[in-house]
Amino acid sequence: MSVSVPDLVVAAASIPDAPAMVEVIHAAFGARPALDPPSTAIHETPESVAAVLERAGGVYATVGGRPAGVILVVPGPSGLAGFQRVSVHPEFQRHGIASAMVAAAERLAAEQGQHGIELFARAELAEVVAFWRHRGFRIDRRVEHGVMLAKALPLTVAVATGAAMQELGVRLAQLLQPGDLLIASGDLGAGKTTLTQGIGRGLASEGPVISPTFVLSRVHRSTGDRPALVHVDAYRLSSPYELDDLDLDATLDASVTVVEWGRGMAEELSEDRLEIDIVTPAAEPDPAGETPRLVTIRPRGRRWTGVDLRGLQGVSGG
């Protein structure tokens, strides 16, 4: 069956959706290979799903008005949301519905105030594990009959002033440790260097932290017991091979490395990293001439699984 994008609707689930969601869950889990022990999903009822929706939430997908997909999103006490009963009706599989639902479920978890996601996958279902790993999830631990997969959620912080951008950097520095890599992206003047200056303050870095555009990289040693700050500007580099010439591997493990203009260049340095995007929303400057910014921080890799970034919100002036 062919499914076109306009036919697909993914939305937050409501209690009246529960019967149709159960239909999807039963069809999807019933079509899977026999497992030992069998999944308990087949025992879900409209009442049990409605109870989850009432205390937690979920996403529900339809195609042409027909039930197509389900994810239940259950907040956890540790700030990790659980994805449960992830299902796509067999009639609609392999049309990108699961990926669309995952994106919507991640947004819902972030709106619930969660800083990460975890879910259980059966060890026998290698294709299922591969699906989640392709979407940024990593095996966090092995448990009976399978694995727990986890992923940190991005955080978006509204920053009103340059001083607030520096304060965000100071707060971020408190979470950093030797070996951390940060890749900062944004237009000219977006605030990448201002953020890095705040990180330098938080790390008690020596010397003024200024854009290293012409020298490409600078090392700022800490005056305290924090790691050194390696500040890199990749603006003038045309390929990742030129970044290799800076020999950042020699300092990466012992330092905090910030690469401005590093998107598409620096990702190979480490699978554990923070990707930081700074954008200017459509807003007028305030009376003091300051232009607000939105800073989105995307954690990648096991290092950041379970690290709560929510303390970065609420910077003064933000």
From 106, 125, 152, give the residue that closes a domain: 152
CA-wise closest residue to 279 among 203, 196, 187, 201:
187
Same-domain pairing of 159 and 305: yes
Position 174 scores a pLDDT of: 96
- pLDDT tens, 186-215? 998 899 999 999 999 999 999 899 987 666
Phi-psi region of 31 (alpha: psi -120 to 50; beta: other; left: phi over 0): alpha
Same-domain pairing of 83 and 49: yes
Same-domain pairing of 166 and 303: yes
138 forms bridges with which residues in the sheet? 150
Domain annotation covers residue 216? yes
Domain annotation covers residue 317? no
Same-domain pairing of 139 and 188: no
Domain annotation covers residue 318? no
From 152, 175, 209, give the residue that closes a domain: 152
Domain annotation covers residue 22? yes
H/E/C letters for each residue in 4-73?
CHHHEEEEECCHHHHHHHHHHHHHHHHCCCCCCCCCHHHHCCHHHHHHHHHHCCEEEEEECCEEEEEEEE
Query: Going by C-beta distance under 8 Å and a sequence separation of 6 or more, which residues neighbour residue 79?
Result: 113, 114, 115, 116, 308, 310
- Which whole number is the average pLDDT over 112-135? 92
262 neighbors 234 (Cβ within 8 angstroms): yes
Domain annotation covers residue 220? yes
From 120, 152, 184, give the residue that closes a domain: 152
CATH for 76: 3.40.630.30
Same-domain pairing of 129 and 163: no
Position 284 scores a pLDDT of: 62
Same-domain pairing of 159 and 307: yes
Provide the domain limits for residue 307.
Answer: 155-312
- pLDDT tens, 222-242? 999 999 999 999 988 888 888
Whether the pLDDT of residue 102 is over 70: the answer is yes
CA-wise closest residue to 98 among 141, 140, 127, 123:
127
Residue with tokens 């069998």: 38
Domain annotation covers residue 299? yes
Same-domain pairing of 115 and 225: no
- pLDDT band at residue 308 using 50, 70 and 90 as cut-offs: confident
Domain annotation covers residue 129? yes
Residue with tokens 């933000």: 318
Q: Both tokens of residue 147?
A: 């694995």
Domain annotation covers residue 261? yes
DSSP state of 77: T
Same-domain pairing of 147 and 174: no
Same-domain pairing of 143 and 28: yes
DSSP string, 155-169: EEEEE-SHHHHHHHH
- Count how many domains the chain has: 2
Same-domain pairing of 107 and 249: no
Same-domain pairing of 142 and 163: no
Task: Please give the mean pLDDT across all residues of the chain.
Answer: 90
Position 318 scores a pLDDT of: 42
Same-domain pairing of 145 and 290: no
CATH for 207: 3.40.50.300
